[in-house]
Structure 1
Amino acid sequence: MIAISTLISDDQRAVLALWHEVNASLSAYHKLVTTFGSAQQAWTAKVEAWRQLGIHPSHIKRHEQQEQTLTSIDTIEQALRADKYQLLFADQPDYPAQLLQIYDPPPLLFYRGNSALLHQAQIAIVGSRKPSTHAQKITFDIAQYLAQAGYIITSGLAMGVDKRAHFGALAQADPDYQGRTIGVMGTGINVCYPNHHDHLFTQIIEQGGCLVSELLPHTQPHKHTFPRRNRLVAGLSLATIVTEATIKSGSLITARLTSDQGKQVFAIPSHIDNSNAEGCHHLIREGATLIYHPQQVLDDVNVQLNIYPSDLKSIELNQSADTSSKSNTEQLTNKQKASVASKVAIPEHLEVVYKQLDWHGQDLDALLVSTELTAPQLIGQLMELELLGTISEQGGRYLRV
């Protein structure tokens, strides 16, 4: 077994300690790290400094009891040694790059199973916890179709649509396509919720899928943890499909977050008197793409990636992963290699802008900050890249093609 010291650096241990003391509060964590410059400095800061920042009293109390923090970290390290679950930190190349693009990326992710899937092209499928029989069949069929086309199906492990989406992705006769699903948890990585979904959790792991959570182990379900989960479902995925949802469904939160991140939302229509589909009808009215066949999703999403469905079997989204991590993922197909080799060379003076772009899209404001160019300079270089056919503009966001 690999020694734990080779898995977690001192800086990462400080991240874990700080994450524990703020009880996985994103706002408190980012406020402390921004103020003190690093998790290490925030964790070693005096209690009074935390108090002056207006940190919640419960967080301050845990900061005063660092012996308990160290005990909790020791427990987590023991679980890592026993391979009960594993950890990814935001400073690691194996951390999913697409999550770094969202407004509030988690500093770490607990996971079980095949983490290589996190770097592959994903489509989220979400919806009602009490779907109609028809919606259950549609969800299963769409998930199976998209998984066979090469996409990873990402969902939230809830009853109803989520569950059917996961099972559809798992129902593959071809072993190369089995396990093409990611379950994002609204609990700690070692908490099965809903309780009777233990079979689903086991099947996902055994067939090569992946379970992920940003929450600390043993965290129980709470009404606030599921919107957090939804933002990760949206953040990991290239697009979101809502197959059936009420107007007050949490799925609409996922759809909104998907749209806020500049990605496409798809919705399936139903009878106008179907109250269980009011959420889908609302989304369509607000601009979501109406679909009645999964091929329509492929047609739209494949345009974003500039690939064909047959290329998707092994596509990686995390272009910064080092060569050692790539040994754990599928390699590019010959067709993809030929496609990459035929790409137009990026002129040297455009490389700074091009390197800031990804396949999810960046708006002008973000690019102005990251490139430190003036607006006229940036716009001119973006136009050059568009003329070269290396990037495109969609909805005010610029992305690679």
Structure 2
Amino acid sequence: MTASSLSLSDHQRAVLALWSEVNASLSAYHKLITSFGAAELAWQAKAEAWRQLGIHHTHIARHEQPEQTRAIIDTIQQALIEGRYGLLFADHPDYPAQLLAIYDPPPLLFYRGDKSRLNQAQIAIVGSRKPTAHAQKTTFDMAQYLAQAGYIVTSGLAMGVDKRAHLGALAQVDSEYQGRTIGVMGTGIDVNYPNHHDKLFSQIIEQGGCIISELLPHTQPHKHTFPRRNRLVAGLSLATIVTEATIQSGSLITARLTSEQGKQVFAIPSHIDNSNAEGCHHLIREGATLVYHPQQVLEDVNAQLGYESYSHKSKDIVDSIDTTESNSSQTNHSQAAKYTNKNKSTAIVANQPPLSNIKSPPSTIVVPEHLTLVYEQLDWHGQDLDALIVTTKLAPPQLIGQLMELELLGIVSVHGGRYLRV
């Protein structure tokens, strides 16, 4: 791609100028656009006109220094040319159309990685920054399962559950399924936070995933930037899974926003004395769907999307948004309308069998106490006997005996010498 093809148009420079001068304030930006009708007109307006609209005085002060604004735009332009990150405006065909259906869509998105992921069917996984070991494993396994089924796993790049969700989605043996994750940042696109997540950021990008931010480059983490990030996680996704969360967790904000957007919230239960899971139990009490297996999520999401109506547009997944038919912003808004009614959406995992042929897991799983250790070490992809001996530290005869008991209970099966949950 040539430098000239990355040049910002006058309209795009005006959008960037406003976004910079209002310091990425959604309310101020939309007030200016609504009042003046176009970004160019709002940027050309006098400071007094902004003052009459009630725009904050700090925004007006920046507006009165256009040279600094132009310098910021030139810096972003240079970063685009050098390929440090990319930029999508809301009227671009690659901008995720599902975000146009939320209450306050950002006018632009900075991104690193494969932007095509943004318009593919996504399921969010969120939760505690300090999850239990069991929740970490459950999150990883669930993300891996959903990615292998063809969905993109979206999360917020935080410590704990978010990180395990991203890593689970990336842990695909088949390269065809790698990179099925999107990370939504609560900082500028060039600010890695937490700092020790540098490796995770690189892994997502190198394996074909995508990282996005609506905030301006160099924006540092702040307590106000993460709730707004959560709305994008919810807005991008068809549903949200909370694997473990305290009652004060920011994950409950994501769950609430998901529900307000008319989408399904799933929560994984835990022991009643696990304070780290009080948020999940609260969500279930308030109407979230209790799940204990990722296949249940797939069945519910696929059923909502009208499985029988899909056409298979790709080998592994039919994109939620087909951006190849038109390059106009009108098409984006038309596609966004699909997300306002979950029963009319058109995303699907194309390699899933008909729902009538899917074997559902048992309606109730009761694991005897003496078998709990072994059962908790199993996942939905399978482990061989040697690996289980190492993780359970049980003698082979004892381990084999317990695995046989779990098989007889119908909650574990063995395929090709690998034991897995059913």
TM-score, scaled relative to structure 1: 0.81
Q: Which residue of 2 aligns with 1:112?
A: 112
In 2, are the aligned partners of 1:179 and 1:209 still within 8 Å (CA)? yes
Deviation at 1:113, TM superposition (A): 0.3
Runs of 4+ in 1 over 6 A off after TM superposition: none
Q: Which residue of 2 aligns with 1:151?
A: 151
Paired residue type of 2:31: K
Question: 1:267–1:284: 8 Å Cα contact kept in structure 2?
Answer: yes
Aligned pairs for 1:135-146 within 5 A: 135-146=135-146
Q: How does 1:60-75 map to 2 (within 5 A)?
A: 60-75=60-75
Q: Residue 15 of structure 2 corresponds to which residue in structure 1?
A: 15
Q: CA RMSD in A?
A: 2.0
Q: What do the CA deviations read for 1:160-184 (whole angstroms, capped 9, x no partner)? A: 0000000000000000100100000
Query: 2:305 & 2:233 partners in 1: Cα distance?
Result: 19
Rounded to whole Å, the distance in 1 between the matches of 2:166 and 2:230 is 15
Percent identity of paired positions between Structure 1 and Structure 2: 75
Please, which moves more after superposition, 309-318 or 279-288?
Answer: 309-318
SS at the partner of 1:169?
helix
Distance in 1 separating the partners of 2:52 and 2:247: 42
In structure 2, what residue type is equivalent to 1:63? H
Deviates more, 1:8-17 or 1:282-291: 8-17
1:2-401 correspondence to structure 2 within 5 Å = 2-4=2-4, 6-307=6-307, 313-322=316-325, 358-362=337-341, 399-400=344-345
Q: 1:228: how far off?
A: 0.5
State the 1:114 CA deviation: 0.2
Per-residue deviation, residues 306-333 of structure 1 (Å, max 9, x unmatched)? 33899682322223444789xxxxxxxx
Indicate how the Cα distance of structure 1 residues 23 and 4 shifts in structure 2: closer, same or farther if over 3 A, else same.
Answer: farther
TM-score by length of 2: 0.77
Distance change in 2, residues 1:63/1:358 (3 Å):
closer
Unpaired runs of at least 5, structure 2: 329-333, 347-422
Counterpart CA distance in 1 for 2:60 and 2:326 is 41
One-letter amino acid of the structure 2 residue matched with residue 99 of structure 1: L
Task: Letter of the 1:236 partner, please give it.
Answer: L
Measure, in 1, the Cα distance between the counterparts of 2:170 and 2:89.
Answer: 28
Relative to structure 1, is the Cα distance of residues 357 and 109 closer, same or farther in structure 2, using a 3 angstrom cutoff? closer
Q: Residue type of the partner of 1:153?
A: V
Distance change (3 Å), C-alpha of 1:5 and 1:319:
closer
Tell me which residue corresponds to 2:358.
none
The question of whether the paired residues in 2 share the 8 Å contact of 1:4 and 1:77 is answered with: no
Query: Given residue 344 of structure 2, which amino acid in structure 1 is its aligned partner?
Result: L
Q: 1:310-357: CA deviations, max 9, x gaps?
A: 9682322223444789xxxxxxxxxxxxxxxxxxxxxxxxxxxxx688
The alignment partner of 1:287 has SS state of coil
1:37-93 per-residue CA deviation (whole Å, 9 max, x = no partner) reads 011110110000001111111100000000000000000000000000000000111
| Secondary structure, counterpart of 1:34 in structure 2 | helix
Matched-pair contact (CA < 8 Å) for 1:152–1:181: yes
Whole-Å separation in 1 of the counterparts to 2:153 and 2:259 = 18
Letter matched to residue 320 of structure 2 = L
Does the 8 Å contact 1:128/1:249 carry over to 2? yes
| Alignment check: 8 A CA contact 1:122 1:152 kept | yes
SS at match of 1:123: strand
Where 1:219 maps in the other structure, the secondary structure is coil
1:184-213 CA-to-partner distances (Å, cap 9, x unmatched) read: 000000000000000000000000000000
Contact 2:100 2:336 in 1 (8 A): no
1: distance between equivalents of 2:236 and 2:92? 16
How far apart are the structure 1 equivalents of 2:68 and 2:325? 35
Letter of the structure 2 residue corresponding to residue 319 of structure 1: D
Alpha-carbon distance in structure 1 between the residues aligned to 2:311 and 2:294: 15
Deviation (angstroms), 1:12: 1.2
Distance 1:114 1:175, change over 3 A: same
Q: Is the 8 A contact 1:305 1:359 kept in 2?
A: no
Q: Do the aligned partners of residues 4 and 186 (structure 1) sit closer, same or farther apart at CA in structure 2, a change above 3 Å counting?
A: farther
Q: Which residue in 1 is equivalent to 2:417?
A: none
